[in-house]
């Protein structure tokens, strides 16, 4: 196949594969959608084609690594993925879109290198992951809810460990812990971002927390 024809085929194929993944993101109204994924995939493919072109032209004159430019794409795509990540309270949105952008850049590199079978299989796998497994993920989220537990406690070694053990025994998952020391430094206010089972009784948990020596106050919302 002539080189220019190979370049056209690779770029078109990269655009199609990036568009397949991007369509799913666009359909679910994510920050990076159809066009963004196409541009990332085509750009990554172009970088790999250019790297191959440079290697073919200059490998007799210098010691060149054809994978060097492609490696920069994999690491450099992080800045674009970071722009899609949004934190809302204790939840983080956009991680899946950031991961899809990174995965699409890898698909583009694979297409640019001429490994079409690998790129096709990866695109199908990525698309199935985004589309089919989303329903499974949604079903899991319906079995739990997020909330916050506020605890005022004494500064005692091992007390946080006891709280964590109690929450774990009740099926409550801790997602984040924030500390705020009082001026007298004898008491500490702790805010725990947690995930409760969907039909969880918070009042009983507060009573159990207050039974732990060193805990002065406990509340939830």
- The domain limits of the chain are 3-141, 144-220
Q: Any idea which architecture 144-220 has in CATH?
A: 2-Layer Sandwich (3.30)
Spatial CB neighbours of 59, under 8 Å, sequence gap ≥ 6: none
- Burial (CB count within 10 angstroms: exposed 0-12, middle 13-18, buried 19+), residue 204: exposed
How many whole angstroms separate alpha carbon 193 and alpha carbon 178? 8
pLDDT band, very low/low/confident/very high, at 77 (cuts 50, 70, 90):
confident
pLDDT in tens, 84-122: 766 655 556 677 778 888 888 888 888 888 888 888 888
What is the structure's pLDDT at 5? 86
Within 78-199, strands assigned E span 86-88, 91-93, 144-154, 173-181, 187-197
Q: Does the model's pTM come out above 0.85?
A: no
Which secondary-structure segment (H or E) carries 11? helix 3-27
Tell me what the pLDDT averaged over the chain comes to. 78
What is the structure's pLDDT at 158? 80
What is the structure's pLDDT at 70? 78
How many helices (H) and strands (E) in the chain? 8, 6
User: Given the DSSP bridges, would you call strands 86-88 and 215-220 parallel, antiparallel or unpaired?
Assistant: unpaired
């Amino acid at each position: 196949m002539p080189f220019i024809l190979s370049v056209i085929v690779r770029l078109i194929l990269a655009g199609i594969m990036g568009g397949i993944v991007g369509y799913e993101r666009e359909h679910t109204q994510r920050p990076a959608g159809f066009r963004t994924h196409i541009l990332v995939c085509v750009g990554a493919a172009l970088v790999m084609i250019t790297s191959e072109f440079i290697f073919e032209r200059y490998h007799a004159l210098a010691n060149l690594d054809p994978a060097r430019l492609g490696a920069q794409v994999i690491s450099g795509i992080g800045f674009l993925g970071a722009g899609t990540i949004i934190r809302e309270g204790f939840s983080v949105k956009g991680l899946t879109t950031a991961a899809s952008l990174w995965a699409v850049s890898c698909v583009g590199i694979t297409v640019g290198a001429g490994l079409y079978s690998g790129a096709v299989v990866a695109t199908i796998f990525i698309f199935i992951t985004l589309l089919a497994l989303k329903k499974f993920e949604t079903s899991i989220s319906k079995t739990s809810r997020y909330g916050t537990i506020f605890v005022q406690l004494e500064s005692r070694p091992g007390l946080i460990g006891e709280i964590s053990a109690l929450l774990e025994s009740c099926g409550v998952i801790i997602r984040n812990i924030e500390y705020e020391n009082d001026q007298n430094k004898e008491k500490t206010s702790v805010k725990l971002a947690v995930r409760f089972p969907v039909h969880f009784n918070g009042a009983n948990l507060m009573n159990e927390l207050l039974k732990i020596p060193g805990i002065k106050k406990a509340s939830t919302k």
